[in-house]
Structure 1
Amino acid sequence: MADEKKQNLENKSLLSQPLLEREKNSLPNFFLSVKLKYVKLGYHYLVSNAMYLTLMPVLCMIFAHISTFTADDLWNQLKLNLVTVVLSSTSIVFTGTVYFMSRPRKVYLVDFSCYKPGPAHITSRELFMQLSAASEIFTEQSLAFQKKILEKSGFGEMTYAPKSLMQVPPNQSMAESWRESEMVMFGAIDDLLAKTGVKPRDIGILVVNSSLFNPTPSLSARIVNHYKLRGNILSYNLGGMGCSAGLISVDLAKDLLQVHPNSYALVVSTENITRNWYFGNDRSMLVTNCLFRMGAAAVLLSNRIFDRRRSKYQLMRTVRTHKGADDKSFNCVLQREDPDTQRVGVSLSKDLMVIAGEALKTNITTLGPLVLPVSEQLLFFVTLVAKKVFKMKIKPYIP
């Protein structure tokens, strides 16, 4: 028994020895990483504030030189150079006025609202499959495919669908489509106006986007009519622009706020699934049934200086990358008729994720120089020159 205990103690000491050695070896690495971290922070600070650090000694010298003059000396200098002083003062005032008049107006996101439908619109995965099977349109293979997509897409048991699609047979009439769009748009806008306290007649710009449902009168006209917006409102209705239309709408509103001072811009983003639900067996079109649900978002933008304090965000930059010139990108999301039943649906290409990744890469490359600090850009440039020009075998620096 004593021998067994002794052997166990020896085994424990042998097991713990490498661990202690690893801990001892890891301590220098830890302190080295801490040192490198502070070195990098110091580098970022020096590069970011290089201009101020350079100007400080110059300003100190100027102030030291001025302090040697007496009041009488300064007055004599001003009397001798009266014309120069007047011209300099006038040019400074003129330059300042031109700068403040021509500089870009700041755009603020005052608040936003996302519409949440009531309990009557809750649709679980099980109910979705029951309604799909009850329609007697989908084949067994199509039902199995939709079930697989539902499980992989991450939809929970409390997603929302319009009542027109929760009945057998489904009702895809224009009246039901209008009912869905009005419910989600007006619900989001009502909540937004209640949050911000802004009156409908204070809104000067309206941008609405809905990719597939574009009736006449337009959705933007319906909002103007419902809320009795003022007659000189700038109203825009964007269609056929896919999932990117929400960001495009914000970009358009930002540009309009640059030329219309003291204005509010209302941006409404939605999509209608009543009219665009696909009842067919083309797999590329069935994916959209499993990905899209009902909803809308409303955003209030402002260029009023008084809204700065209460706003949630300030819009700094918008960067758009358009890949429409490429045929693969152009055809990756396509509304068409399936060849078997001639039913209209939205087809998603298998190359969609690759194309989206390439567009995102281009977008980040464009956005990077605009948002990265000078220190990060300098490190990237030095690494790139070392790798491309001097053919050094180093890893590219990723900011």
Structure 2
Amino acid sequence: MNILFMSLLAVLAATRVYVTEFNTRPIVIIAFCSAASLAYYFLMCRPSKVYLVDFACFKPSLNCLCSKELLLERAKGLGFLTEENFKLVNKILDRSGLGPWTYVPEAMLEIPPKLNLEEARKETDTVLFGAVEELLEKTGVEAKDIGILVVNCCLYAPTPSLSDRIVNHYKLRGNVLAYNLSGMGCSAGVLAVDFAKQLLQAHPNSYALVLSTENQISSLYRGNNPSMLLVNCLFRMGGSAALLSSHPSDRYRSKYQLIHTLRTHVGADENSYKCVIQEEDSEQKVGVSLSKDLMNVARDALKVHITSLGPLVLPVSEKLKFVVNLIERKLFKKKVEAYMPNFKLAFNHFCMHTGGRAVLDRMQKSLELDDWYMEPSRMTLYRFGNTSSSSVWYELSYCEAKGRIKKGDKIWQMAFGSGFKCNTAVWLALNNIEPASKKNPWRDEIDDFPIKANPTVESTK
């Protein structure tokens, strides 16, 4: 309120008029200045709007292209798999939802494969530098203009950090706010957007660069624990870069505006905390173990998450149906199923993390989505595999390449991650997005999709 008080004093001093019983002009002036000052005060206190200027998804070179057969051959060549587990890996790959060709680091395809720290660095450099350079080319923003940097990679945490590597390579300015997120799981891409949003609102008129990736070489499990082998089968090479802005003038050239972010953490529960955990097997070989409870944990986390998300995004009619159902079950003890709101009334496009075919099947069933809505997620899993925290960006790229994004559309990016976490980002399209108008990882092959990839729900769209 200091702004209001100082404004009033300044006006009175400038006009040199004083209130008398015969002069009402000062009262009018004071009232006008009070209203103007209050309006200015509240406008200045409102959080800055956050825009997604553009984003880029890294597409590896043809030298990284790998078939299922070649992957099995290299796995056999490493010699650590028993015959029983080799058959298990073959079976998992058949049922994974991945297509015949995906991408892995070149070092994994050499004979023998090079699985050392230097190659892990090279993999991350290739992915992140490739994504950043494409993004800077798309946006025309120079590296020196970036004030905030957020990098996330779950299992690969070298020293100096990955954010330090980006600062060094692109010679970012000395006062850049650089953050490195590790161990946050596959939902870290959405989590990083929420983090960048809060930083942008605290530092108006800034650019934030958000980078998401996972390192396949460093996360490769070289043992025979079946619960740890799934990660080797699903995860693939990939990464993304997104440029967020709190410059009001960027609204007119940005693709999207960030409407909501929401984070749910159910790690207080012991089963949820341990369902995805990095540990040593009986032979002291490190890997990520996936619990048999994972699907149930994800289901329960989703229920908690959408209970918070629904009031933010659903129309009134759906909110009323949900409340009535809740009263019937909790107050009147009726044995009726919990009502699942129709999120198709809130969102035009769904980008659900490509955790695997089983995860997507459960998501589709839980949210009662048609195949058309799940197509970006299933096709991303099919073509690129699970690229961890960057997968939701490959899915949004798919929607753009198909020409589906129209002005006013709302997009739901949602991802699960170890901990256990469920995170959401909701975007509003500010313009029609022309298909393949700029670089896009799908541009040269989008006409080949969708490919029938074991849908579970009859398509109605």
Q: Hey, what does 1:258 align to over in structure 2?
A: 201
CA distance change for structure 1 residues 186 and 395 in 2, over 3 Å: closer, same or farther? closer
Deviation by residue 1:128-159 (Cα, 9 ceiling, x = unmatched):
11111122221111111101111111111220
CA distance change for structure 1 residues 321 and 134 in 2, over 3 Å: closer, same or farther? same
Residue 71 (structure 2) aligned to one of 128, 133, 140: 128
CA distance change for structure 1 residues 323 and 84 in 2, over 3 Å: closer, same or farther? same
CA distance change for structure 1 residues 92 and 223 in 2, over 3 Å: closer, same or farther? same
TM-score normalised to structure 2 length: 0.66
For the residue of structure 2 that corresponds to 1:216, the secondary structure is: coil
For the residue of structure 2 that corresponds to 1:334, the secondary structure is: strand
The runs of 5 or more residues in structure 2 that have no matched partner are 1-21, 342-461
- How many angstroms apart in 1 are the aligned matches of 2:333 and 2:116? 65
Question: Counterpart of 2:152 in structure 1: which amino acid?
Answer: N
Question: Counterpart of 2:122 in structure 1: which amino acid?
Answer: R
Residue 152 (structure 2) aligned to one of 196, 200, 209: 209
CA contact (8 A) 1:209 1:269 kept: yes
CA contact (8 A) 2:51 2:251 kept: yes
CA contact (8 A) 2:329 2:335 kept: yes
Residue 268 (structure 1) aligned to one of 202, 211, 227: 211
Please report the RMSD computed on the Cα atoms of aligned residues, expressed in angstroms. Answer: 1.9
State yes or no: 1:171 paired with 2:107: no
Q: Hey, what does 2:316 align to over in structure 1?
A: 374
- How many angstroms apart in 1 are the aligned matches of 2:288 and 2:334? 49
For the residue of structure 1 that corresponds to 2:304, the secondary structure is: helix
Question: Counterpart of 2:306 in structure 1: which amino acid?
Answer: I
Residue 89 (structure 1) aligned to one of 11, 15, 32: 32
In terms of Rg, which structure is larger?
1
CA contact (8 A) 2:58 2:239 kept: yes
Matches within 5 A, 1:1-399: 82=25, 84-339=27-282, 341-385=283-327, 388-389=330-331, 398-399=340-341
CA contact (8 A) 2:74 2:113 kept: no
For the residue of structure 2 that corresponds to 1:242, the secondary structure is: coil
- How many angstroms apart in 2 are the aligned matches of 1:278 and 1:390? 51
1:103 positional shift: 0.6
Deviation by residue 1:192-213 (Cα, 9 ceiling, x = unmatched):
1111111000100000001110
For the residue of structure 1 that corresponds to 2:137, the secondary structure is: helix
The runs of 5 or more residues in structure 1 that have no matched partner are 1-78
- How many angstroms apart in 2 are the aligned matches of 1:138 and 1:394? 48
Report the count of equivalent residues.
Answer: 320
CA distance change for structure 1 residues 324 and 90 in 2, over 3 Å: closer, same or farther? same
Question: Counterpart of 2:32 in structure 1: which amino acid?
Answer: S
1:85 positional shift: 2.8
- How many angstroms apart in 2 are the aligned matches of 1:222 and 1:119? 26
Q: Hey, what does 1:52 align to over in structure 2?
A: none
CA contact (8 A) 2:150 2:178 kept: yes
1:104 positional shift: 1.2
TM-score normalised to structure 1 length: 0.76
- How many angstroms apart in 2 are the aligned matches of 1:192 and 1:284? 37
- How many angstroms apart in 2 are the aligned matches of 1:394 and 1:80? 71
| Structure with the largest fraction of strand | 2
Deviation by residue 1:197-234 (Cα, 9 ceiling, x = unmatched):
11000100000001110000100000000000111000
- How many angstroms apart in 2 are the aligned matches of 1:241 and 1:200? 26
Question: Counterpart of 1:290 in structure 2: which amino acid?
Answer: C
- How many angstroms apart in 2 are the aligned matches of 1:331 and 1:80? 75
1:168 positional shift: 3.1
- How many angstroms apart in 1 are the aligned matches of 2:68 and 2:173? 44
CA contact (8 A) 1:383 1:397 kept: yes
CA distance change for structure 1 residues 281 and 195 in 2, over 3 Å: closer, same or farther? same
CA contact (8 A) 1:135 1:168 kept: no
Question: Counterpart of 1:128 in structure 2: which amino acid?
Answer: L
Q: Hey, what does 2:403 align to over in structure 1?
A: none
Deviation by residue 1:323-356 (Cα, 9 ceiling, x = unmatched):
11111111111111110x2211111111111111
Q: Hey, what does 2:365 align to over in structure 1?
A: none
Q: Hey, what does 1:36 align to over in structure 2?
A: none
1:387 positional shift: 6.0
Question: Counterpart of 2:108 in structure 1: which amino acid?
Answer: L
1:380 positional shift: 3.4
CA distance change for structure 1 residues 338 and 204 in 2, over 3 Å: closer, same or farther? same
For the residue of structure 2 that corresponds to 1:214, the secondary structure is: coil
- How many angstroms apart in 2 are the aligned matches of 1:161 and 1:262? 38
CA contact (8 A) 1:185 1:297 kept: yes
Deviation by residue 1:155-207 (Cα, 9 ceiling, x = unmatched):
11220111221123322211111000000000000111111111000100000
Farther off after superposition, 195-204 or 164-173: 164-173
- How many angstroms apart in 1 are the aligned matches of 2:126 and 2:336? 57
CA distance change for structure 1 residues 390 and 139 in 2, over 3 Å: closer, same or farther? closer
Percent of residue pairs identical: 54
